[in-house]
Each structure stands twice: as C-alpha cells, then as structure tokens.
Amino acid sequence: MLTLFDANGHKKVCFHDLTSGHMFQANQHVVVHANEALVLDPGGHKVHTKLFAEISAVVSMSQVKHLFFSHQDPDIIAAANAWLMMTDAKGYLSSLWMRFITHFGIDELVVSRLVAIPDEGGTITVGGQPLELIPAHFLHSPGNFHVYDPVSKILYTGDLGASLGPDTIQVTDFDAHIPHMEGFHRRYMAGNRALRAWAERARKLDIETIAPQHGAMMAGKPLVERFISWAENLSCGTDILFAPGVPS
Ligand SMILES: [Fe+2]
Ligand SMILES: [Fe+2]
C-alpha cells in the first residue's frame, strides 16, 4: 500500500501488491474525502478478498460510498457484485456496459445502485469533493473513462499507461520504461486518433501524476508530458492491423 496524497482531509492510496499468480498485476486506488471513499477499479474476486481486508487501514467499509469501473474487463468488474453486496456504494460504469455487467451476477437487490456514465463523462462527488470522469473511449474499451482528482492532481488512467514487467512503482527513466508499455499499447489501444483526442483533453488538466491500473505511475510534470506526447504519437490498434502491406 502506498499513500500518494494526504492533506486537508483528502487522501489517495494505491494498493499495488494484491494480485498474484497468473494475474496481470493491477493497482487499486482509494480516494477518501471527508467521510466518504471511492474505490477505483476494484478488480476480481481474489483481489476483492484481500482489498476488503486491507482497506480498513485507510477507511472503514461503511464509508465506501462509490465504486468506479473504468470499463468492462474482468480485472475491473468481476467482483462488482461482491462489492455492491458488502457496501451500500453506487457503482459507476459507462452506459455501454450496463447491460453486460449483469452477466457477472449482479444481484437484483443491488442492480439499482449501478449508475450509467454518459459518453461525455461527468463527476463523482466524494464527501463533497467532485472528481472528474474524463472520456477516454477506445483506450482500450469503446466505453472507457479516466478519473481526474483536482485535489491531488492525479489522473487515474485505467489501462492507458499500463506497463508489464518492471517491479517498480514509480517510473524514473521514461525512455527505459517505453519497452514495458509499448507492446500492450500497440495491440490493445484502438488507434492513434483516440490517443490524440485523449491527449488534447489531458493537456487541459493540471496533472502532477499519471496513475495507470497496471504497473508503474509517472509522477512530476516532465514525466506526465513525456507520457502524453508518447501516447499521442503512437501508432496502435487499427493503425497497425489494417496498415497497407500488413496481412489481415
Ligand atoms: Fe482492460
Ligand atoms: Fe486492466
């Protein structure tokens, strides 16, 4: 567990070591403001069991009032029903995935606490503090959001910025880090046009840290800018798969 921000009644904590075995390493973030908490991309069942036990070091479960699901993948929503059953939190998810999340066994008792996020985004207000839901569609999911915390100035980017391999929490050398991100982004991200739209949005935010769901985060404005500019210039997804000369 790593505390990323703690000042003026606002706290942001990252759990980075709850995945194990064959699972793709994943980070779970918890934002606490005043008397409420938000869990970002809480993950699947094994992570749920561990996070449920460990979260009490940060906040009591009865204060978890919000669950954010950046998109529909199992490493994000597989345990959505358990979280909804064991809290009285609302679960926020792209409107595109509302009819699919119920296939993970969302109980009739809690389904009314799912909140559809419209394509244009919105806010989640945690203990009176609004956090912004930033559209990041097709990066990689067609219905996908990031969360900007204007207090800590941390942009949580879900799968965007994910890295595989290095056993580190913070990126120090961006050039050395690129090979750990590149393969994943070139295959999973839908295309450069989506990255450019995201970069334009990201540049309008005052970001101190890019915090992805997988792997290391990028802290400090120079690293944030390096990442945004790397992303906006990346060819990926359909740019590559359907490029002239590439067999389909
Ligand atoms: Fe994903
Ligand atoms: Fe993921």
Distance 8 CA to ligand 2 centre (A): 31
Q: 173-228: per-residue pLDDT in tens?
A: 999 999 999 999 999 999 999 999 999 999 999 999 999 999 999 999 999 999 99
* C-alpha angle 231-232-234 in degrees, rounded to nearest 5: 65
Protein residues within 5 Å, CB atom, of ion ligand 1: 73, 159
Distance 157 CA to ligand 1 centre (A): 11
Protein residues within 5 Å, CB atom, of ion ligand 2: 75, 159, 213
Which long-range contacts does 78-82 make (Cβ < 8 Å, 24+ apart)?
A: 78/43, 78/44, 78/45, 78/104, 79/42, 79/43, 79/44, 79/45, 79/47, 79/48, 80/42, 80/104, 80/106, 81/105, 81/106, 81/107, 81/110, 82/45, 82/48
* 223 contacts 168 by C-beta, under 8 angstroms: no
Nearest C-alpha neighbor of 154 from the set 199, 203, 207, 200: 207
- Beta strands 2-7 and 10-15 are antiparallel
Distance 163 CA to ligand 2 centre (A): 10
Distance 73 CA to ligand 1 centre (A): 5
* Nearest-10 crossing angle of helices 221-232, 192-203: 150
Q: Taking residues 34-48, what's their average pLDDT?
A: 93
Q: Which two tokens stand for residue 233?
A: 């210039």
Average pLDDT of the residues of the chain: 95
Ordered by start, the domain boundaries in the chain are: 1-118, 131-242
Give this prediction's pTM.
Answer: 0.96
Distance CA 5, CA 59 (A): 14
Q: Which CATH superfamily is domain 1-118 in?
A: Ribonuclease Z/Hydroxyacylglutathione hydrolase-like (3.60.15.10)
Architecture label for domain 131-242: 4-Layer Sandwich (3.60)
| Lookup result for tokens 């559209």 | 135
